[in-house]
Chain A
């Protein structure tokens, strides 16, 4: 039981490049989330998916898109990376929606030059 996995662990991009961060969970959870963590800012929600087939914006969605490919997988795409998107990105999953424990992946450290 791997829990929540994320790839890649590290990534360096140049401004304007695109990339997709992958997230998968094997706990049959319904909800999945993408957060970014910045020093002094805590965790901020980018996008979430309350169930398979649905996605919704969180607190800081600008510059990102998501896809809930199936119940297991939830990807985050940066279409044109900017230095302000330098951050650590965490994916999380939850059995319910907003009322249960969230399980986090190990994170992706992204640097945009």
Chain B
């Protein structure tokens, strides 16, 4: 079965620092990839997604992610974080042409120090 790994469980950064959150998945075929964000006390919402085309995907609030097929990775990046980016971030993968549903990673809790 497919799986999704998020390497960092808890990340603490200062404002203006650069961010990279790792995400790796196990399925070797065609995939749809997602990053969702959950701000404190709120529900999950989509940050960005990759279905096909340019492997560098830009999302909301200055986030971007790069799909590297050879590394089975979809890492999330932001050049300069803000205090308001404090949230939990979830990577999710859907393996196409399989019966598996979308699988979420365990999440990375990001804390930005003002």
Contact = CB atoms under 8 A, between A and B. Distances in A.
A104 B47 CA distance: 13
A104 B94 contact: no
Contact of A48 (B32, B34, B101): B101
Interface in A46-101: 48, 58, 90, 92, 98-99, 101
B104 interface: yes
B87 interface: no
| Dominant secondary structure of chain B at its interface with chain A | loop
Given A40-B106, A41-B106, A43-B90, A101 B49 contact: yes
Q: How large, as a class, is the contact surface on chain A?
A: 20 to 34
A99 B104 CA distance: 14
Given A42-B105, A43-B104, A104 B45 contact: yes
A90 B44 contact: yes
Interface in A18-50: 33, 35, 40-45, 48
B96 interface: yes
7 closest Cβ pairs, A-B complex: A42-B106, A43-B104, A104-B44, A104-B43, A98-B94, A106-B43, A42-B107
Given A40-B106, A102-B46, 7 more contacts: A42-B107, A43-B107, A98-B94, A98-B100, A99-B51, A99-B94, A104-B44
Interface of B: 9, 32, 34, 36, 42-46, 49, 51, 90, 94, 96, 100-102, 104-107
25 contacts: A33-B101, A40-B9, A41-B106, A42-B90, A42-B106, A42-B107, A43-B104, A43-B107, A44-B104, A45-B101, A45-B102, A48-B101, A58-B101, A90-B44, A92-B44, A98-B32, A98-B101, A98-B102, A99-B96, A101-B34, A101-B46, A101-B49, A102-B44, A104-B44, A104-B45
